[in-house]
Structure 1
Amino acid sequence: MLRKLLPLLLSLAAFLGGAAGGEMLRGSPIETGAAAEAAAEHAEGAEGGHEPGAAATPASHGDAAEEAEPVAGAHPAGHGAPSGDHGSSAGGHGAEEVPATAWFEFPQQFLVPILYDGRLDSTMILTLSLEMPGTARETVHAHEIKLRDALLRQLLIHANTGGFDGNFTSEAQLRKLRASLVTAVRNVVPEISDVLIGDIGRQER
């Protein structure tokens, strides 16, 4: 009897085992698909969360760049101001400065004839310059002809009174000559301070 039932029991066990195995196989794909969908959703969520962060980062850098722009714009302006100061300073240096002391040399020498008994004996040759404050330079230039006339007149007086006789280069004679010449030019331009004798010589006939 047992031998007859054993094949049936084995067949039933095999059937039940196959059914159970099929159910297990069916459940596995479902679970696997659900897990895959969950993983995909998780990945999408992760990507979605990362994108805003990534987008926010450039935005923050963009804001920083926009905030930096006014500072960068203000920097050249700051440098521009000293540039203007230098320009005004350069303009100040460009203005002509008036020297404290100036000199004027007559372009032509003074020729003074020395006469004896109405005859020309020799000729004195002098180179003269004028010393003055810088502010009087233009005035002296404007009165050059009058100053030359005043000097020549005084040189003739000096020659006719014997000032060029003998040792006319002695300190006493030159001091007297300068004093008379200074007085003559100050009658034309009072600001003149001195008359300088650059050259003095006597040319015999």
Structure 2
Amino acid sequence: MLGKLLPILLSLVALIGGAVGGELLRGAPPPPAAVAAPDQAAPAELAAPDLGPQAEPPPATTPREAAPVSAAQPEPQDASAPAAWFKFPQQFFVPVLHGGRLDSTMILALSVEMPETATEEVYAHEIKLRDALLRQLLIHANTGGFDGNFTTEAHLKKLRGDLTATAQAIVPRVREVLIGDIARQER
């Protein structure tokens, strides 16, 4: 009897495991601010002229339907706009070489600060941002930025400034790149 049930149970466990694994790989949905921003639609509705009872309201657009913001015409940054943060899901691993040999590896956890209205744009450019930030971290490592006491405020301020400028070249509305964790793993 067990010999007949075992293949069925194994198939059921594999099916459930595959479904759970698929959900884990899909990742977390974007934060609610990126999916729906009902307060953004309110000013447009208030500004619409009253055309009487026959007029239909304009169709609402979702953030995904809205036209993308181009680098040539960035929206003006509003310093008073509520802030949002995007934390890169994986850490950045940066090799530090001396004399052509791997000396150590820097491990960094980075986040991006932006206006709440730029959340969708940052999520859409996550891969480009990660590539550009990693490229800047490699430049920093190759120019000796991670040698000696790399945790002094002067060193970290320069690194944050370089990373922020790099991120703003991809998404101009990024306010700052924040360093959540930084560690050096010696070889």
TM-score scaled to structure 1, two decimals?
0.53
> Which of 162, 167, 177 is the aligned partner of 1:185?
167
For residues 35-184 of structure 1, the aligned pairs below 5 Å read 96-97=38-39, 100-184=82-166
Q: What is the alpha-carbon distance in structure 2 between the residues aligned to residue 192 and residue 95 of structure 1?
A: 19
CA distance in structure 2 between the partners assigned to 1:107 and 1:136 by the alignment? 18
What's the secondary structure of 1:169's corresponding residue?
A: coil
Name the CA distance, whole Å, in 1 between partners of 2:103 and 2:37.
Answer: 53
Please report the RMSD computed on the Cα atoms of aligned residues, expressed in angstroms.
1.5
Distance apart, 1:95 and its partner CA: 6.5
Which amino acid in structure 2 is aligned with residue 174 of structure 1? L
C-alpha deviation, 1:185, in angstroms: 0.4
- Write the distance in 2 (CA, Å) between the matches of 1:155 and 1:162: 11
Q: Which amino acid aligns with 2:136?
A: Q
Distance 1:96 1:171 in 2: 40
Q: Write 1 or 2 for the structure with the bigger share of helix.
A: 1
User: 1:5-24, aligned counterparts within 5 Å?
Assistant: none
Secondary structure of the 1:163 match is coil
Query: Residue deviations 1:4-53, cap 9 Å, x none?
Result: xxxxxxxxxxxxxxxxxxxxxxxxxxxxxxxxxxxxxxxxxxxxxxxxxx
Q: CA deviation at 1:101?
A: 1.1
CA distance in 2, matches of 1:159, 1:125: 12
In 2, the alpha carbon distance for the partners of 1:194 and 1:104 equals 11
In structure 2, stretches of 5+ residues that fail to align are: 1-35, 41-80
In structure 1, runs of 5+ residues without a counterpart are 1-93
SS in 1 for 2:90: coil
Letter in 2 for 1:135: T
TM-score, with structure 2 as normaliser: 0.58
- Deviates most, 96-105 or 120-129: 96-105
* Count of residue correspondences: 112
Instruction: Give 1:96 deviation, angstroms.
Output: 3.9
Aligned-residue offset at 1:183:
0.6
Structure (1 or 2) with the larger CA radius of gyration: 1
CA distance 1:95–1:185, shift in 2 (3 Å) = closer
Deviation at 1:137, TM superposition (A): 0.3
Change (3 A) 1:125 1:191: same
